[in-house]
Structure 1
Amino acid sequence: MLSFLLTRLLSTFIVVLGVITLVFLLIHLVPGDPVQAMLGETATPTDLESLRNALGLDQPLLTQWWVYITNLLQGDLGNSLYSKEPILDILLERFPATLELAIAGLLVAVLLALPLGSIAALRKDTIYDNSAMVFSLLGVSIPNFWLGPMLILLFSLMLGWLPVSGREGPLSLILPAITLGTALAAILGRMIRSTLLEVLNEDYIRTARAKGLSESAIVIYHALRNASLPIITVLGLQLGTLLGGAVITEIIFAWPGIGQLTIESIERRDYPLVQACILLISLSYVFINTLTDLLYAWLDPRVRYSV
């Protein structure tokens, strides 16, 4: 297990370094001059050159990269060009909202997918199975930017049950979580169905049935436990995707998270903040995937022994 852990941590370090470098290069290759955006079109060449020198943008790209890495290791992400506040403080203020929305979306997906996938597998080729697969197809096909407004029209404007937007309390989380979790529920439901169909044909399941165990006990204590590994993998991957893919949902519901912050900083040409937002989303994805790998190896010893 120690060898597996060290191997995964080393590969994670390499990926993180690559992500940091790629984000740095992409931001610096974006057309437009941040100095010009800060000072406006009426700025004189002298003012532009003075500010560019103060920000270190006149140095070679490799030197800027090294300074960026050094500051990053010290927890210094710089200051926002728009608000002048430390970027780290802005991210710490906004990230909990995105994390809350991602976890809520994941919870919605599990609560929908687990019964649907299980019933579809146990009632294969029946109306229950076909209905679950239709739901999966709809969940994957319907985009967030259509589902979100439709939920707002129905539950907020017509029925008046839930808030339209914002992050004012538990009720304001329901519609964004449903919007974000529906597509994942469709993917997860199909995964649960396919893995359960494979497991239900194993010899130990037939033995459990021969012992007189109820079907629910067989599914909960035997089938789902052995089908959990690929499901956990999908959950881990999709949680990272939810953290990065919540941008549209946050914009629709005015949810004050990293996704909305990214769009706002792009509109303001606040390049250091854009860079920090993208980096945070990328590193969150890498971190969650690493945890998923470690959890997978802990649950299945064959994985760590194969390294």
Structure 2
Amino acid sequence: MLTLLFSRLFSALVVMFGVVTLVFLLIHLVPGDPVQVMLGESATTTDQEALRQALGLDQPLLTQWFNYMTRLAHGDLGTSLTTKTPVNQLLWQRLPITILLAISGLSVAILIAFPLGSIAALYPNTMIDHSAMVFSLLGVSVPNFLAGPLLILLFSLTLEWLPVSGFESASSLVLPALTMGTALAAILARMVRATLLEVLNEDYIRTAKAKGLNKYNIIVHHALRNAALPLLTILGLQLGALLGGAVITETIFALPGIGLLTIEAIQQRDYPVVQACVLLISLTYVFVNMATDVIYAWLDPRVHYRAI
């Protein structure tokens, strides 16, 4: 197990190094000058050059990259170019909202997908199965930037049940969680159905049926437990995808999380903040997938032996 853990950790560090380098290069190569954004177009050339030297933006790109990686190795993410606030502080202020949104979206997905996929697997090739798969197809086909405004139009503007945007109470997370959770639920429901259909044909399931167990006990106590490994993999991958989707969802609902901070930093060409936000999202994605691999190997020792 330790060999597998160190192997996954080394792979994660290599991926993170590549992500940090790639993001650094892309941010510095895209059109736009943060100095002009900060000073305005009316600023003189002398003022722009003075600020560029003060920020270290006049140095060669390789020197800027080396300085950034050195600071990053010491846990220093830099200072925002626009607000002059340490980036670490900005992330800690915005991170709780994104975590709450990801957990809420994942909870919605699980509450919808597992019952839906289980019912579809119990009644294959029936109207119930077809209806569940139609819902899955709609959930996958409708993107977040369309589902969000539709939910706002229905529940906020028409019914006036929930707030349109911002974060004032727990009710502010309902629509964003539905927006992210339904898309994930559609994918997860199809996986639950496919996995259960395979498991329900096993001999031990036939034995459980012969003993007189009802469908609920067979699904909950036998089928889902043995179908947990592939579903765990999908959940791990999709949890990382939720953080990426939070960029769009937080922008639609004006939630002050990491996603909205990323969009604001891109618009202002705030290099340190953009790099830190992308680094945080990538690190979380890599960590979740690494944890999924380790849990997978813990649940199924055969994975451990194959990895070695």
Same fold (TM over 0.5): yes
2:271 paired residue number = 271
SS in 1 for 2:76: coil
Q: Deviations over 1:14-47 (max 9, x none)?
A: 1111111111111111122222332333333333
Equivalent position amino acid for 1:207 in 2: T
SS in 1 for 2:256: coil
SS in 2 for 1:75: coil
1:128 paired residue number = 128
The reply to whether residue 55 of structure 1 matches residue 59 of structure 2 is no
Is the CA contact 2:19–2:279 (under 8 Å) kept in the aligned structure 1?
Answer: yes
Is the CA contact 2:248–2:259 (under 8 Å) kept in the aligned structure 1?
Answer: yes
The reply to whether residue 152 of structure 1 matches residue 160 of structure 2 is no
Q: Say which is worse superposed, 110-119 or 296-305, in terms of deviation.
A: 296-305
For the residues of structure 2 that align with 1:107 and 1:194, how far apart are their CA atoms? 21
1:68 paired residue number = 68
Q: Deviations over 1:181-240 (max 9, x none)?
A: 111000000000000000000111111112222221111111101111111111111110
For the residues of structure 2 that align with 1:32 and 1:267, how far apart are their CA atoms? 9
Equivalent position amino acid for 1:166 in 2: G
Q: Say which is worse superposed, 226-235 or 206-215, in terms of deviation.
A: 206-215
1:282 paired residue number = 282
For the residues of structure 1 that align with 2:4 and 2:85, how far apart are their CA atoms? 41
For the residues of structure 1 that align with 2:39 and 2:271, how far apart are their CA atoms? 14
The reply to whether residue 306 of structure 1 matches residue 302 of structure 2 is no
For the residues of structure 2 that align with 1:138 and 1:45, how far apart are their CA atoms? 54
Could you tell me which runs of 5 or more consecutive residues in structure 1 were left unpaired when the two chains were aligned.
Answer: none
SS in 2 for 1:80: coil
Q: How does 1:97-176 map to 2 (within 5 A)?
A: 97-176=97-176
2:198 paired residue number = 198
Percent sequence identity over aligned pairs: 69
Is the CA contact 2:33–2:269 (under 8 Å) kept in the aligned structure 1?
Answer: no
Runs of 4+ in 1 over 6 A off after TM superposition: none
Equivalent position amino acid for 2:300 in 1: D
Deviation at 1:161, TM superposition (A): 1.6
Seen in structure 2, the aligned counterparts of structure 1 residues 161 and 41 have a Cα distance that, compared at 3 Å, is closer
For the residues of structure 2 that align with 1:44 and 1:167, how far apart are their CA atoms? 40
2:95 paired residue number = 95
For the residues of structure 2 that align with 1:96 and 1:298, how far apart are their CA atoms? 30
Deviation at 1:245, TM superposition (A): 1.2
Deviation at 1:271, TM superposition (A): 2.3
For the residues of structure 2 that align with 1:195 and 1:203, how far apart are their CA atoms? 15
For the residues of structure 1 that align with 2:123 and 2:2, how far apart are their CA atoms? 43
Deviation at 1:51, TM superposition (A): 2.4
For the residues of structure 2 that align with 1:237 and 1:194, how far apart are their CA atoms? 17
Equivalent position amino acid for 1:220 in 2: V
SS in 2 for 1:306: helix
Is the CA contact 2:34–2:268 (under 8 Å) kept in the aligned structure 1?
Answer: no
Seen in structure 2, the aligned counterparts of structure 1 residues 155 and 299 have a Cα distance that, compared at 3 Å, is same
Deviation at 1:62, TM superposition (A): 2.3
SS in 2 for 1:179: helix
Number of equivalenced pairs: 307
SS in 1 for 2:42: coil
For the residues of structure 2 that align with 1:201 and 1:261, how far apart are their CA atoms? 49
Q: How does 1:158-307 map to 2 (within 5 A)?
A: 158-307=158-307
Seen in structure 2, the aligned counterparts of structure 1 residues 44 and 158 have a Cα distance that, compared at 3 Å, is closer
Q: Say which is worse superposed, 43-52 or 216-225, in terms of deviation.
A: 43-52
Q: Deviations over 1:90-134 (max 9, x none)?
A: 111011111110110010000000000000000001111011001
Deviation at 1:302, TM superposition (A): 0.9
For the residues of structure 2 that align with 1:51 and 1:158, how far apart are their CA atoms? 49
Could you tell me which runs of 5 or more consecutive residues in structure 2 were left unpaired when the two chains were aligned.
Answer: none
For the residues of structure 1 that align with 2:191 and 2:72, how far apart are their CA atoms? 39
2:16 paired residue number = 16
SS in 2 for 1:261: helix
